[in-house]
Structure 1
Amino acid sequence: MKTVIMAGGRGTRIADYSKALTGKVLPKPMIPIDGVPVLEWEINSLREQGFTQFIITVSYLAEEIVDYFGDGSGVSPVTGKPFGVQIEYFHEQEPLGNAGALYKLRDKLVDDADGSEDFLLLNADSIFDLNFQRLVAYHRAKGARATLFTHPNSHPYDSGLILAAVDGGVEKWLTKEDVRPEYYKNRVNAGVHVMNVAALDKAAVVSGIDVSQIGKVQADSKIYKVDLDRQILKPLCGRNVAGGYNVYCYDSPEYVKDMGTPERFEAVAKDFKAGIVQAKNLSHKQKAIFLDRDGTLNKYVGFLRKTDELELLSGVAEAIRKINASGYLAIVITNQPVVARGEVTFEGLEEIHRKLETDLGKEGAYIDALYYCPHHPDKGFAGEVPELKMDCTCRKPKPGMILQAAKDFNIDLAASWMVGDSEADIACGKNAGVHTALLSREKTDDYGQEVTVDNLLDFVEEHMEA
């Protein structure tokens, strides 16, 4: 599979910073982190996972990139190690938009070795460390024309949002200017894509892209450009004629962040030097804080049935921000028997959880995943859902949800915690083999928990590293 890295941006917001840092103005991909250019870190990460064929699009200060990497057969001037890859370049002599080059390169995107028409599409101004083989396997299992690497971030309120079905099929792509629903899942495109050449062909038809005009001056004196998000990916969202989806999202907590401003660059450089970037790769064991919902994140109101009944507890957003910054995953584990009892539909519960994610996002916090058990063993409720009335393996105190999360995210249970306000939470944590913390102001309940604290923020500040 070939990898296309878009490295032609001017980097005007970070130009002065790069000069102050290195003594010269550099294209964004060549700004060093820990002494090594960002683009070299990207190439090294991909090479180590078997991706060795690269096409790099260049424009602004192209010579800085071409002279450094050459065709990939040489040795890094910084590390003294061989690049060990094959690189060819596409020089944008005129601005083509962030996707026009893909149409110019279309025939080069097919892998000559096996005829694969899938390719990786990445931005050169991002720091990432993720399991690309896992991403590609997901893309191919879905039979997707395009797969987006998606994750939550600390500012979903001003980011483009991806709205997806339960199976990951992308229903809608909401750009910043689009009207968004009141409550939404914190799911943002990270700028890492697996695409198929068929996506380009389909988008050309759907969006009316005149491939012959790309890069040419039009009657209005403007150059004909193509925008990746608005003209290719967004128009392909929704169900196709076969009832499936052209575009799927691949949710992962792995590290992908752009470094296009001085502030963002300093943040990712700090994370890189602290080892957080590398540790987030799902090929490595993860650490998680498993969180109960009612009474732990939001005020306990008994059986919560409506979105307006969900209200975050004081200090919760701050606590989760600290978890997000720590390298731990924040994963919600909650029993929701209201579904089996017929009091809340699956969609109603999803809306409640969208409110949870929206409210957290407004305060710069996010959860990495949420698991819920919709079952209930007892019968006799009016309107109950018979197929959900069962003695399942996921309802706390059984550890099914934690064990599933551990499988999904390669979690080291012995290094993780379950935090909740009930005996079932503590028993669930103990059954799963994680550390346990009880939230209890009275401090009198003893369920065998390792620590007892007043609230989630106290736990994070006092015990999370224990």
Structure 2
Amino acid sequence: MKIVIMAGGKGTRIAQVNATVPKPMIPIEGKPILEYQIETLKNQGYTDIILIVGHMGNVIQEYFGDGAEFGVQISYIIEEQPLGTAGALYFLKDEIKDDFLLLNGDIIFDVNIQKFLEYHCKQGTVATILTHPNSHPYDSGIIIADEKKRVINWLHKEDERLWYKNRVNAGLHMLSPRIFDLFTEVKKCDLDRDILKPLIKDRELSVYDSPEYIKDMGTPDRYYAVIEDIKSGKVSAKNLKNKQKAIFLDRDGTINKYVGFLTDINEFELLDGVADAIQMINESGYLAIVVTNQPVIARGEVSVGELQEIHNKMETLLGQSGAYIDDIFYCPHHPHKGYEGERPEYKIECECRKPKPGMLFAAAEKYNIDLRESWMIGDGENDIEAGRNAGCKVCSVGNVEIENVPRYDSLLECIKTVLEKR
């Protein structure tokens, strides 16, 4: 598979770090960002690389040459005049005949590319973009997808939004050669707005959601954060080929104030310190995964869409404080039948309702999680039993005393202690 890297940006916002080289050549620990990208790709067997260069492109060409010194084969597309983030793809119409990976040249990442490619081929769409949660969704474009992972809306930074799922475009795109049908002439165009977003109306844009490490160098703060993540080994550790560790969190009474069966979105309110606690999980390298029983679906009190909106509010509020959830698993079932307004299809004995460990097992399969090195934290006995049944370490928060289980008054206190035990 060919890899196309857009390496022509000027990097206006990050110029104060280093304005003497093009953005993809800004060094981290003595090595350009672009070299980290090429090493990551080569280590996974992807060595056929095309670099699209423009601003100070000669610096990139002189450093990498034909790629032989770096164990890869590099060719170049040179923008004689700026063509935006996608215009230069026109010159690849006759060269690329198969699916290919297109990525931004200003990101540090370590992603299981083969898994991404297989997912894209299974979706069968013109394009699949890798999405992930980030710590600043309020100033990022938000990608909204349906249950089949087809994009139904793309909110740009300037678009009005209320509650939203924290999923943003990470800058890695799997593209079918059918994408070239959209390029009929050489002209400046924007990849997101002019090429990808128009695919939505024909359901030809999919999302691949991943918690793996991807961070752009758009600002000095993010640049320095990446340096620390590389030093700590966090970047490579987050690749899903490696065993992951997770902190599983109950929702009601652990993340938000307990109000009984929560059916009104206006009653959802984060507990004090929760955003700080989850931000600590994010920074630690653990996955932050919510596992919650939601029998309000079976009881007919909340629709699946209404529950999603409640979760969107949770993600929005967390994102406003720089925290994010990697995934949410919920059980909609309830075994007891015979109530007015209930939904019979959800009135079943299932394997996902806590204290059964089904949601934790599903997360472990999806994200290659080592459950023995993971934690389950909740405010009730069902949470603790589910964690134990999955083989996790456990602790509780709130007022309920559970025999032989450490209890903390708040999630923040609990997370501080858990992370100290690593």
Structure 2 length normalisation: TM-score?
0.97
Quote the offset at 1:440 in angstroms: 2.9
Q: How many angstroms does 1:464 deviate by?
A: 2.5
- Which of 189, 192, 200 is the matching residue for 2:172? 192
Write out aligned runs for 1:35-74 (5 A).
Answer: 35-73=30-68
> After superposition, where does 1:38-437 map in structure 2 within 5 Å?
38-73=33-68, 75=69, 83-110=70-97, 117-180=98-161, 182-201=162-181, 203-204=182-183, 211-212=184-185, 214=186, 224-238=187-201, 240=202, 245-437=203-395
Indicate if the aligned counterparts of 2:37 and 2:108 stay in contact, CA closer than 8 A: yes
Q: 1:457, 1:325 → 2: CA distance?
A: 14
* Number of matched pairs: 421
Letter in 1 for 2:389: N
What is the SS of the residue equivalent to 2:241? coil
Is contact 1:418–1:436 with CA below 8 Å preserved after alignment?
Answer: yes
- Could you report, residue by residue, the CA deviation over 1:30-56 in whole angstroms, capped at 9, with x for unpaired residues? 222222221111111111112111110
Provide the C-alpha distance between the structure 2 equivalents of 1:362 and 1:63, rounded to a whole number of angstroms.
41
Alpha-carbon deviations, 1:1-29, whole Å to 9, x = none?
1110001111233334226xxxxx11121
Looking at structure 2, the residues matched to 341 and 134 of structure 1 have their Cα atoms a distance apart, in angstroms, of: 38
Q: 1:336-386 CA distances to partner (integer Å, 9 max, x unpaired)?
A: 011111111111111111111111111211100000000001112111111
Counterpart residue identity of residue 145, structure 1: V
Identity value in percent: 57
Moved over 4 A (4+): none
Single out whichever of 357-366 and 6-15 deviates more from structure 2.
6-15
Matched letter for residue 191 of structure 1: G
Post-superposition Cα deviations, 1:270-313, rounded to whole Å, max 9, x if no partner, equal 11111111111111111111000000000001000111111100
Q: Which has the larger radius of gyration?
A: 1
Matched with 2:25 is 30
Cα offset, 1:183, TM superposition: 1.1
TM-score, L = length of structure 1 = 0.88
Mapped to 2, the partners of 1:14 and 1:379 lie a distance apart of 60
**Matched residues in 1 for 2:240 and 2:159: separation?**
33
Structure 1 letter corresponding to 2:363: A
**Equivalent position amino acid for 2:2 in 1:** K
The amino acid across from 1:327 in the alignment is: G
Q: CA deviation at 1:447?
A: 4.0
Matched, 1:10 2:38: no
- Aligned-partner SS, 1:17: coil
Measured after TM superposition, the shift of residue 253 of structure 1 is: 0.5
Gaps of 5+ in 2: none
Q: Cα RMSD between the aligned structures?
A: 1.3
Instruction: Specify the code of the residue in structure 1 equivalent to 2:39.
Output: N
Give the superposition deviation at 1:199: 2.3
* Per-residue deviation, 1:441: 3.6
Matched residue of 1:133: which SS? helix
In the alignment, residue 150 of structure 1 is paired with which amino acid? T
Whether the 8 Å contact between 1:423 and 1:447 is mirrored in structure 2 is no
Q: One-letter code of the match for 1:2?
A: K
2:18 counterpart SS class = helix
Quick check: 1:455 aligned with 2:413? no
Answer yes or no: is the 8 Å Cα contact 2:379–2:396 preserved in 1. Answer: yes
- Unaligned 5+ runs, structure 1: 20-24, 76-82, 111-116, 205-210, 215-223
